[in-house]
Structure 1
Amino acid sequence: MADGLLTWTMLRGRAWQRLLPDVYVHRAGHQSDDHRLWCEAVALVLPPGAAIAGLSAAYLWGAGGLPAGAPVTVVLPRAARMRPHARVSVTRSVLADDDLTTQAGLPVTTTVRTAFDLARRPPRTDAVVAVDALLRRRVVDLPTLREYAAARSGWPGLPQLREVLALADPLAGSPMESRLRLLLLDAGLPPPATQHDVHDAAGRFVCRVDLAYPARRVAVEYEGTPSREPAQVRQEASRFQALRAAGWRVVRCTADDVLRHPARTARMVAGALRVRPNPRAASPH
């Protein structure tokens, strides 16, 4: 407006969408659930020393896992002020200079600070899912996160953080696989191996399974949205038959099983573990 490129009348017209006070986007580029767009908008009004944080920072670091319409999480120095907005979730905390960086031009918390904050935030399952996602992206590792946490004794949320670090697994293949693994552990079942390679009796590679109990030859698979492509359907059927031929039992779990029927799902896996594997079947390695 100062350069005469826009007027108030133009901004109030149909071509422009107001996101925040003094922040507009052209309607041609506006998508209400575009989280990156909202991060860019919020970054324009952040006070000095503040940054995009939490799940929003994890999203920008490539970890995903945000529901549609999620607010942008920001962390502010304790003395900073920011106008409240429904699409912005504000937290306040101590922020050292080395906790701040930029990602694609946006101010964000570093990967280790992002993981540290998410690991301390309840509920525990969501915290493990978030940390697993960051570990899977290899933007942070467990030794670095443990060292960072050890230097911050007395911070809130450390009891949960220690539990999350004990449960986190960089091999977790997806957020739902993380939730499925925690479901089994919370039911008292033994820790499953993640991303386990199955071989037949001759040592030939059969496939990789999400979760496994090799000694019992039990695979626990998370089934996402079924593919409608005939080639994909045939491939999945062939994979399932190959596992059975190698002497493995397969428990298939859907989102409904994990989110709505955890007790029933745990019982299914426990039942499969009680069945003795065929001693003449393939080696469990």
Structure 2
Amino acid sequence: MRISRRPSLPRVFTGRDAVAAGALTEAQLRGPVVQRLVRGVYAPAGLPVTHELRCEAVGLLLPPGGVLTGRSAATASGVPLADRDDPVTVLLPAGGPDTLPRGVDVRLAQDVVASRRWRTTRLAVPERIAFDLCSRAPLPDGVALLDAFARAGGFDPASFRAWVDVRHDPWVRPARRAAELCDPRAESQPESRLRVHLLLAGLDVEPAVTVLDAGGRFIARVDLAVRGARVAVEYDGRWHALREALESDRRRITALRDAGWEVVHVTAGSLRDPGEVVDAVRRAVARQAARGLVLR
């Protein structure tokens, strides 16, 4: 590794290499010239610290066969599922050395397969990335991560279901369940979590449904719809900054109601109590059934 003495330093480098090359002294590693990303790995001071930069740093420390996986690999692929200070998730061959520093989430597997090179390291295959997104997360969160990664083209849900069906890894059962519920039509992670809560409660909901009138003309596109019930479930997580947007949304809701639809609004606050949301949707379905608008 070559490090010039003064003009520039690499984006990430180990302190040991920098000192060995004469680019920095031990004292400078503790001073304002550099910033530490993880134990033993640094970046020039002033370089914005992102999760991707921390992944680059950890890549310098991975033993042979190690790869990025899970939210870290998704983020490195351009799907930002990890925040700056989240642990960097890596996959290592089982039985190999593991001397990685704090801030690294280590997963183990007998067969570690890389898909492609990425900066200082490699990424796991898409199916393994998807597995590590969902296998250890609560089901609504795991499905939300899968939906987001699939929506961005990170993996094919059908291929993942086939892949996970023949696996015998620890945590494979929750991954299979999440794979069954994955739907890349979902447009946000909160909407995905909302859908999973409703499905687990026995409500047959579908994401991103286009509503047409009797003549086939477009009325609206709704976040979730209860099949056969004309009940729309809308996640209101967006601020309507413009008055025009608010008025357009009101016209849209009015058009849905004029077409015989009930609309249940869910906010981030109400989603903290999924049982309350489920009850609200069930009440809406019951009202539609009383009006004779629910298909049997």
| TM-score tier after normalising by the smaller chain length | 0.7 to 0.9
Distance 1:265 1:147 in 2: 33
Task: Map 1:117-266 onto structure 2 (within 5 A).
Answer: 117-152=132-167, 154-189=168-203, 191-258=204-271, 260-266=272-278
CA positional deviation for 1:61: 2.9
Give unmatched runs, 5+ long, in structure 1: none
User: Is the 8 Å Cα contact of residues 112 and 124 (structure 2) preserved in structure 1?
Assistant: no
CA positional deviation for 1:122: 4.0
Distance 1:202 1:130 in 2: 37
Q: Which moved more, 1:119-128 or 1:50-59?
A: 119-128
CA positional deviation for 1:100: 4.2
Amino acid at match of 1:228: A
- Residues 3, 119 of structure 1: alpha-carbon distance in 2 compared, 3 angstrom cutoff: closer
Distance 2:150 2:191 in 1: 14
Amino acid at match of 1:144: S
User: Is the 8 Å Cα contact of residues 62 and 100 (structure 2) preserved in structure 1?
Assistant: no
Q: TM-score, normalised on structure 2? A: 0.83
Query: 1:61 aligned to 77, 82, 87, which one?
Result: 77
User: Is the 8 Å Cα contact of residues 63 and 130 (structure 1) preserved in structure 2?
Assistant: no
Distance 1:267 1:150 in 2: 34
Give unmatched runs, 5+ long, in structure 2: 1-17
- Residues 110, 279 of structure 1: alpha-carbon distance in 2 compared, 3 angstrom cutoff: same
- Residues 161, 19 of structure 1: alpha-carbon distance in 2 compared, 3 angstrom cutoff: closer
Distance 1:22 1:117 in 2: 26
Distance 1:63 1:3 in 2: 36
CA positional deviation for 1:3: 4.8
Q: CA RMSD in A?
A: 2.5
- Residues 157, 20 of structure 1: alpha-carbon distance in 2 compared, 3 angstrom cutoff: closer
Q: Which moved more, 1:44-53 or 1:207-216?
A: 207-216
CA positional deviation for 1:174: 1.3
Distance 1:122 1:48 in 2: 27
- Residues 66, 96 of structure 1: alpha-carbon distance in 2 compared, 3 angstrom cutoff: closer
Amino acid at match of 1:23: V
Structure 2 counterpart of 1:49: 65
User: Is the 8 Å Cα contact of residues 17 and 30 (structure 1) preserved in structure 2?
Assistant: no
Distance 1:278 1:206 in 2: 24
User: Is the 8 Å Cα contact of residues 217 and 277 (structure 1) preserved in structure 2?
Assistant: no
User: Is the 8 Å Cα contact of residues 65 and 175 (structure 1) preserved in structure 2?
Assistant: no
CA positional deviation for 1:49: 0.6
Q: TM-score, normalised on structure 1? A: 0.86
Name the % identity: 37
Corresponding position: 1:112 with 2:98 = no
Distance 2:258 2:283 in 1: 20
Structure 2 counterpart of 1:72: 88
CA positional deviation for 1:11: 3.0
